Structure 1
Amino acid sequence: MRTEPDAPARCYDNPVIGGFHPDPSVCRVGDDYYLVCSSFEYFPGVPIMHSRDLVHWRQLGNVLDRPEQLPPKASSSGGVYAPTIRHHDGRFWMITTNVSAGGNFIVTSERPEGPWSDPVWIDLPGIDPDLAWDEDGNCWCAFSGVQVARIDPEAGVVLEGPWPIWSGTGLQYPEAPHLYRIGEWWYLLIAEGGTERGHTVAMARGRSPRGPFEPAPDNPVLTHRSTNLPIQSTGHADLVSTPDGSWWMVLLATRPKGFTPGYHVLGRETFLTPVEWVDGWPRVGPVEPRHPAPNAWHPVEPPAPRDDFDAPDLAPQWISPRGRPDGSWSLDERPGRLTLHATGPTLDRPGHTFVGRRQQHLDCRVAVRLDPGPARAGLSVRAGLSVRMDEAHHYDLEVAEGHARVIARIGPLRQCVAEQPVPDGPLTLVVTTRTGVPLPPSDGAAVGLAGPDTLTFSVDAGEPVALASLDGRYLSTEVAAGFTGRVIGMYVTEGTASFDWFDYEEITGDAPLEP
């Protein structure tokens, strides 16, 4: 969602990329900007975005879109951490860590939309790797710790190092380093304090990427810790300059809602904030929900709210946990529909068939048209729409055995909270998420507005019927733990089902709770 330009000043709303898009890294090539984010256990991995103004972003694809690039071994919140994207010598370079299989690796491409190469593995420890080149063509890889090594990025060979270059300001987890040559100085940007509410951005500089580095006099250069600002956990940043010479920072942050301690349900999102340089050091923040925009202003056509599955391949926003085997899905079997085949009997364990997209707005409505199809040789069908954090935290609107059911999986507990007979044939399944709306008295009178949002589940077989409303706190990072956010999608755990379309729309204004 982007706000129309104001008069006389254009402004933008934060986050610039909503939903589970953490650990942003950005580079500029001419007038174009390219940004990547962490994807953890989801496939395809590392979404890549394009913008002409740092505000309006369009997803071009995913850097890791082949199984040989991303083996499906990740546990929840495992997999791919903290990529860095850079452009050097006519090529795009992306370096990241697969913490579940193999460690640090580089892939390259002549075009941002790919195809990207197979991984070149690098024998370096740590996570959050970065790439920077000096004027002699040497490539430097910094990584969490904070350490640096001189490497051959083509061969994945460590030429010198690694050695420590800065220990940060003393906070926990110095990580996410980025090296920049700006003027006569090498600047080192890092994150500290953990990726929760104590998150910070710190800066140091030196005459060489080898160090020594002196810290900025006013570190941290950015933090929202111990404030009541609506944006929290600001950190894991990257810097970029515009053609007119101004500087900007992309970073992750969260938007907690509800009673203390506050719950963020969309994961860590990508925010944008301006940077000033004062006496050779950056001055940043605070990160506001609304900022004056960069001078360039290039809105892009927002994605259509409905995917009719008429394209020859799935759009890049569709992701699946750990992998998407070829036999589990098809756009050709029933043209104009996404057909899913069960590969596992439950969403509570890895190995199931699920195709979803990130929830990007705090208030939204998702609807799908489910067609179980005719029974095949007596086989039953179990399919539906799920809002998931991981295998142990998800709410499902499921159709099976002539009934629609709302199922809540919260940690070790699994319960059917509502059930409604439904006729055979196509059905519309609807989930709405609303902030600031209490649960109905019969469902949570004592809870009030403590939760971050309320999720309502409905089924429409000719007339909409609301089945249940559930507290959203149990699908939050504060409850589920980990690094990811909500993903809403279609699934099949028994038999085969087709989905005619999928609608995703932000809810604005005072729309009613029920769809």
Structure 2
Amino acid sequence: MKLSFGLPLALLAGAIASPLASLGNSTFYNPVLPGWHSDPSCIQVKGTFFCAISTFISFPGIPIYASKDLINWKLVSHVWNRESQLPGVSASTVGQQDGMYAPTIRYRNGEFYVICEYLGLPDGIIGVVFKTRDPFNEKSWSDPVTFKPTNIDPDLFWDDDGKVYSATHGILLQELNLETGELSQPPINIWNGTGGVWPEGPHIHKKDGWYYLLIAEGGTERDHSITIARSRKITGPYEANPSNPILTNRGTDEYFQTVGHGDLFQDTNGKWWGMCLATRTGPEFEVFPMGREAVLFSARWDKGEWPVLDPVRGEMSGWPLPPTSRDVPGDGPFNADPDVYDFPLGKAIPRNLVYWRVPRANAISVTAKGLQIVPSRNNLTGTPESLVTPELTGQKGLAFIGRRQTDTLFTFTTDVSFSPRVVGQEAGVTLFLTQFNHIDLGIVLLAPDASTSKGNAKPQLSLRFRTIGTIESPEPTIIPVPVSWGSGQIRLEIQTANATHYNVAAMPAANPNARIILGTASARLVSGGRGSFVGSLVGAYATCNGAGTGLDCSAGGNAYFKRWRYTGAAQYISATEIVPEL
């Protein structure tokens, strides 16, 4: 089914689902959480659904999305929202895909718990358990109780006798003291899966006298899957479902690939649903700039039987959805909504804008001139993982802020005020996957070209398009800022040319008709590469490209951003279908 009216995907799904739900089933579109939303773990509490998501080294970390209807998801808080909750860990993390891996969210006795693990530290993995009574209040998330696991992807399960267990990759089971972080020793190996690599992402559910163990197998690419086993005792032995895997798209030509790492939960009518990750790429596995996204499916779980999960597709049918509703508390945005941000003084930075690692204090703030970005010495690439120039690695924070690309087709623009004083100072917009994979359009002060200019030539304010990636990059484009544009704000733009390429353009904010396209870049530059676990962010940055000393640039070079606009145009739900139809 394709529609031809201009609504966000979430609203389209709701428009379809409500009438069909009254007839006994519903139709909706995946992904329900488009953009980089990997490893979803979800619950339902008093009619509201909550999901927690992996964030790796981006900050704030572990977003909590809430929904009344399973389609419209509001970003209500981040669990790791203060550097003081885990002081120093971000700056100590070297890898681009380290950080917060695979949270599990659970609810018990009026409290929400999120268990997760932080990877990539010199002393190994840190396990963390956060809790709150109000997930709509970001500041209410606690400092974590920490523990020392040996394996990744922790689950959190309370047994009927009150004992608390955590299962991890392997699959290992340990009791966990939620007050002290103490783990029982030694870990018990309760299941090895069905033979696929990386048995991980475990979730234990107790139902009808059985302990059901849901896991991911096959690695998080094309062989990914969900399998399940059960036992009468939590410690095993576990017997595998003869129909494993119970969910996968491996070995198919489906548009949604990498299906796996999921969680199961019930609605208020007792119907079972699941969320897992998937990648919109098709079997070619070449173009997937949004990375691993969160998809929804129905499940049938009869008494004493194995759960049966609906296969993941772009257009889905399933149980009746709850009535369409955007009546969700909190002040965060819905994931499918556009950005319309002007950054007035006194307003907080919108919750869906995130950083690559914890930023330096006061590096990014709202001022009377708009969103101020104080430049970092390291540019968006810097010298990641370097022991020779640690001050340029970005581990102390990039001067960058962005939001997830949440649509196959979109337009992003922002107006920049920038008066650089020193050669190399730059401000711009970027489509950013990691420090090894990004597409940039900057306003930069460049030294005069010695081969074409006279000795008294002045530095030239220029527009520069350049990329870095793990495939061949297009040649950079540099042109002087046209004199006719004057000294006013410059509007920078990133727009999808189609599902596989981006155009970058610049124009005077006062005269958008003077738009200049600087270049076109393939989405393959920000698909996989050194960022196979993450997805693209689109946003703004400032840098002095290595000038200065220590972490500090020379004086000047602050950039101010206003009229920040992100507008989604359409989503691909298969290789040939888009919604809304254009």
- TM-score past 0.5 threshold: yes
CA contact (8 A) 1:11 1:291 kept: yes
| 1:131 CA displacement | 0.4
Greater relative CO, 1 or 2 (CA 8 Å, sep 6+): 2
CA contact (8 A) 2:286 2:527 kept: no
Q: Which deviates more from structure 2 when the two are superposed, residues 108-117 or residues 389-398?
A: 108-117
Which residue does 2:554 correspond to in 1?
none
Which residue does 2:69 correspond to in 1?
53
| 1:411 CA displacement | 4.0
Which residue does 2:389 correspond to in 1?
none
> What residue ranges of structure 2 are gaps of 5+ in the alignment?
1-8, 327-333, 383-392, 446-460, 545-556, 572-576
Alignment equivalent of 1:426, drawn from 484, 489, 492? 489
Deviations 1:284-319 (A, max 9, x none): 121121223643123326534311123621121111
- What does 1:207-226 align with in structure 2 at a 5 Å threshold? 207-226=232-251
Letter of the structure 2 residue corresponding to residue 78 of structure 1: D
Letter of the structure 2 residue corresponding to residue 469 of structure 1: T
CA contact (8 A) 1:405 1:416 kept: no
- Is 2:149 the partner of 1:124? yes
Letter of the structure 2 residue corresponding to residue 270 of structure 1: A
CA contact (8 A) 2:407 2:570 kept: no
Alignment equivalent of 2:180, drawn from 152, 155, 160? 155
Letter of the structure 2 residue corresponding to residue 91 of structure 1: E
Which residue does 1:446 correspond to in 2?
none
Letter of the structure 2 residue corresponding to residue 405 of structure 1: R
Q: Which deviates more from structure 2 when the two are superposed, residues 411-420 or residues 51-60?
A: 411-420
Which residue does 1:348 correspond to in 2?
381
SS in structure 2 of the partner of residue 140 of structure 1: strand
**Structure 1 pair 375–227 and aligned structure 2 pair: CA distance change class (3 A):** closer
**Structure 1 pair 391–412 and aligned structure 2 pair: CA distance change class (3 A):** farther
Which residue does 1:417 correspond to in 2?
476
Which residue does 2:505 correspond to in 1?
458
| 1:430 CA displacement | 0.6
> What residue ranges of structure 1 are gaps of 5+ in the alignment?
437-452
**Structure 1 pair 42–251 and aligned structure 2 pair: CA distance change class (3 A):** same
Alignment equivalent of 2:102, drawn from 72, 77, 82? 82
Letter of the structure 2 residue corresponding to residue 430 of structure 1: E
SS in structure 1 of the partner of residue 289 of structure 2: coil
- Is 2:181 the partner of 1:181? no
Q: Which deviates more from structure 2 when the two are superposed, residues 173-182 or residues 321-330?
A: 321-330
Alignment equivalent of 1:497, drawn from 559, 562, 570? 559
Q: Which deviates more from structure 2 when the two are superposed, residues 467-476 or residues 265-274?
A: 467-476
Q: Which deviates more from structure 2 when the two are superposed, residues 316-325 or residues 343-352?
A: 343-352
Which residue does 2:132 correspond to in 1?
109
Q: Which deviates more from structure 2 when the two are superposed, residues 40-49 or residues 427-436?
A: 427-436
- TM-score, L = length of structure 2: 0.80
**Structure 1 pair 380–241 and aligned structure 2 pair: CA distance change class (3 A):** same
Which residue does 1:484 correspond to in 2?
534
- Is 2:30 the partner of 1:14? yes
| 1:76 CA displacement | 0.4
Which residue does 1:165 correspond to in 2?
190
| 1:159 CA displacement | 3.6
- Aligned-partner Cα distance in 2 for 1:323–1:382: 21
SS in structure 2 of the partner of residue 194 of structure 1: coil
- What does 1:247-326 align with in structure 2 at a 5 Å threshold? 247-256=272-281, 260-278=284-302, 280-292=305-317, 294-300=320-326, 303-310=337-344, 312-326=347-361
| 1:481 CA displacement | 4.4
Letter of the structure 2 residue corresponding to residue 138 of structure 1: K
CA contact (8 A) 1:5 1:11 kept: no
- TM-score, L = length of structure 1: 0.90
Alignment equivalent of 2:363, drawn from 328, 331, 336? 328
CA contact (8 A) 2:70 2:321 kept: no
- Is 2:113 the partner of 1:93? yes
- Is 2:521 the partner of 1:470? yes
Paired residues in the alignment total 489
CA contact (8 A) 2:201 2:216 kept: yes
- Aligned-partner Cα distance in 2 for 1:112–1:140: 23
CA contact (8 A) 1:148 1:161 kept: no
Deviations 1:156-186 (A, max 9, x none): 1124541100111011100000011112111
- Aligned-partner Cα distance in 1 for 2:156–2:443: 49
* Structure in which a larger fraction of residues adopt strand: 1
Letter of the structure 1 residue corresponding to residue 193 of structure 2: G
| 1:380 CA displacement | 7.0
| 1:417 CA displacement | 2.2
CA contact (8 A) 1:79 1:100 kept: yes
Q: What is the root-mean-square deviation in Å for CA atoms of aligned residues?
A: 2.2
- Aligned-partner Cα distance in 1 for 2:259–2:100: 21
- Aligned-partner Cα distance in 1 for 2:420–2:243: 67
CA contact (8 A) 2:410 2:566 kept: yes
